Structure 1
Amino acid sequence: MKNERPLWRGRPRQGLMLRGADILMVPFSLVWGSFAMFWEYTVISSDAPLLFRVWGIPFVLVGLYMIAGRFFVDARQRANTEYVVTSDSIIIRYGIFRRKEQILSLRELSDFSLTENRNGEGSITFGVSAAGNVFSGLASWPGVEDVPRFDCIANVRKVYDIIRNAHYAAGHTRPFGQRLG
């Protein structure tokens, strides 16, 4: 927009990290990966037919991704992510293999919510996911689009208030947004 001005710019927390959903995902990934590796070891060491040997490889790869790979993918995704709030829009720049950009108009934004933890870090979600926010903390599967959000940002309440005020200034009759957490 012509008179658009930046109000805030930031990045998600960097590095490897655990999320709340890992309470379920870590044990599940260990069971999956262990079984897949056991299967593959058993068919290779027992001289099983080629079909059985090949059949287990995708399951082993998925298991390795769930056990460890997803943490590195998540860290890399966050390292390549930038968030911007302007007087007219929300901008999310991200991408591991190619740069993508999402621009959300504050004027058209209908729903956003805040999730904050005790240390002031949290997420702001723009819209509602079909599955809810139960697993929103997991690194998404590559190629799967998530509901747009500012993820793992410091001083999230301050950023939320900036967005809420800009949303109001963009033409909404009252400040909007729901606080969670």
Structure 2
Amino acid sequence: MNFDAQQIVQRELDSGEKLIWAGAPKQGTVFRGSDIFMIPFSLLWGGFAIFWEVMVLSIPKDDAGAIAYVFPLFGLPFVIVGLYMIFGRFIYDSKKRAKTFYGLTDRRAIIISGLFSKGVKSLNLATLTDVSLTEKSDLSGTVTFGHENQMANFFGGNSFPGMGGANVPKFELIENAKDVYSKLRAQQKG
């Protein structure tokens, strides 16, 4: 068990509740399947937005009048979005995972997360019906609670602030995912 995760999850337990497992998602920069689409798209978007901004900033101010001031302002939001898509989303995702902890008790699955404020998601094991496991060759993986929207994942689902609400709860990018999945299923049966 991850010691930090164990301490943090322990604080959320009810009286008489027993902690079975505690962990956290993989830390650092993580590339996902959606990045096959998102990286080239972000480079095209960001590259064009930066090109636009450089070109409009090079317009002589005295020849263009108000356009020389309006066009750079118009392009600025596109540059900001482009820079976020190119590298900001990786920083956001990494910081968000650094503040995420998972727990499995004899009664529920607990997800503690939040970049600026702590949120606690509690899933009653007795009422969970759709639990799935995705495992990689290194035995890491994800335990998902509910039906995943694959289209949202393809377009970077979690990589944009505010978009995480559409995703189903999960123990994402954990070590020994099958072991955690087996412990969860055993608690549901017992």
TM-score using structure 1 length: 0.86
Looking at structure 1, the residues matched to 189 and 131 of structure 2 have their Cα atoms a distance apart, in angstroms, of 13
1:25 corresponds to 2:44: no
Q: 1:13–1:90: structure 2 CA closer, same or farther, 3 Å change rule?
A: same
2:27 to 11, 14, 27: 14
Helix, strand or coil at the partner of 2:159: coil
Tell me the matched-pair count. Answer: 169
Superposition CA RMSD, Å:
1.8
Unaligned stretches of 5+ residues in structure 2: 1-13
Are the aligned partners of 2:43 and 2:82 in contact in 1 as well (CA < 8 Å)?
A: yes
The 8 Å contact of residues 38 and 155 in structure 2, kept in 1 or not, is answered as no
**2:189 corresponds to which residue?**
168
Q: Which has the larger radius of gyration?
A: 2
| Aligned residue type for 1:10 | G
Give 1:56 deviation, angstroms.
0.9
- What's the counterpart of residue 11 of structure 2? none
The two structures have a TM-score, normalised by structure 2, of 0.82
Q: Which has the higher helix share?
A: 2
Trace 1:146-161 onto structure 2 (pairs within 5 A).
Answer: 146-161=167-182
Alignment match of 2:144 (pick from 125, 142, 160):
125
Change (3 A) 1:136 1:78: farther
Residue 139 of structure 1 and its aligned partner are, at CA, apart by 3.5
CA distance in 1, matches of 2:38, 2:87: 11
> Shift of the alpha carbon at 1:2?
4.6
Q: Which ranges of structure 1 fall in alignment gaps of 5 or more residues?
A: 170-181
User: Which range moves more in the overlay, 74-83 or 15-24?
Assistant: 15-24
> 2:177 is matched by which residue type in structure 1?
V
Q: Which runs of 4+ in 1 moved over 6 A?
A: none
Structure 1 residues 95 and 116: alpha-carbon distance in aligned structure 2, compared to 1, 3 A threshold: same
Of all paired residues, the percent bearing the same amino acid is 44
Tell me the equivalent position of 2:79: 60
**Shift in Å, 1:36:** 0.8
